């Protein structure tokens, strides 16, 4: 996982994080650009999915926190776009912690981890076309809009991308 930043600590999710993750993924404001907020059992599946990713790939979405506690998740996941498996940076931050640059700080640390530790040469972000805050985070860490694609069951998204090798 990425090293901690000036303000954020990263760690792997565990089943003990279910209350925090259910609150995060069940928040309609956080999940505005998803089909719907996730239920508690779906949040448990989210944790299980990430734990499988840690075992299989050595990465996933990690829990992020500040000295004041849990603020969200951020990390790297394999995602299929137009038939190609890509490495995506993703992030969710509690509503009360938004607007403070945490998503950008965490995503930049994950970008750097993808390049320097994983040796990835390309990074993407899959973003709903109307999600301006997420688009700004992607742009701040160096990703640029590349194309539109149908993802996750036919939903339209803007694919932001960057070549890590040349960055």
- What's the confidence (pLDDT) of residue 130? 96
Half-sphere exposure of 126 (CA within 13 A, CB side): 21
- What's the confidence (pLDDT) of residue 165? 80
**Of 138, 141, 140, 160, residue with least CA distance to 149:** 160
3-state secondary structure labels for all residues of 48-114? HHHHHHHHHHCCCEEEEEECCEEEEEEEEEEEEECCEEEEEEEEEECHHHCCCCHHHHHHHHHHHHH
CA distance 45 to 140: 30
- What's the confidence (pLDDT) of residue 114? 97
Per-residue pLDDT tens listing for the chain (167 residues): 899 999 999 999 999 999 999 999 999 999 999 999 999 999 999 999 999 999 999 999 999 999 999 999 999 999 999 999 999 999 999 999 999 999 999 999 999 999 999 999 999 999 999 999 999 999 999 999 999 999 987 889 999 999 998 65
Contacts for 6 with CB less than 8 Å, ≥ 6 apart: 105
- What's the confidence (pLDDT) of residue 12? 98
- What's the confidence (pLDDT) of residue 166? 60
**Of 55, 57, 161, residue with least CA distance to 119:** 57
The full set of domains in the chain, from first to last, is 9-163 (3.40.630.30)
């Amino acid at each position: 996982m990425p090293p901690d930043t000036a303000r954020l600590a990263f760690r792997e999710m565990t089943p003990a994080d279910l209350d925090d993750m259910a609150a995060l993924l069940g928040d309609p404001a956080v999940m505005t650009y998803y089909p719907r907020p996730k239920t508690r059992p779906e949040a448990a599946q989210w944790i299980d999915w990430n734990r499988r990713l840690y075992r299989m790939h050595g990465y996933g979405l990690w829990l992020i926190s500040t000295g004041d506690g849990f603020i969200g998740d951020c990390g790297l996941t394999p995602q299929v776009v137009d038939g190609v498996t890509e490495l995506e940076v993703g992030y969710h931050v509690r509503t009360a912690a938004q607007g403070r640059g945490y998503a950008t700080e965490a995503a930049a640390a994950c970008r750097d981890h993808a390049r320097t530790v994983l040796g990835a040469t390309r990074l993407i972000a899959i973003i709903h076309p109307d999600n301006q805050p997420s688009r700004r985070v992607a742009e701040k860490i160096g990703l640029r809009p590349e194309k539109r694609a149908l993802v996750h069951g036919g939903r339209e998204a803007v694919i932001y991308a960057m070549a890590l090798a040349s960055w």
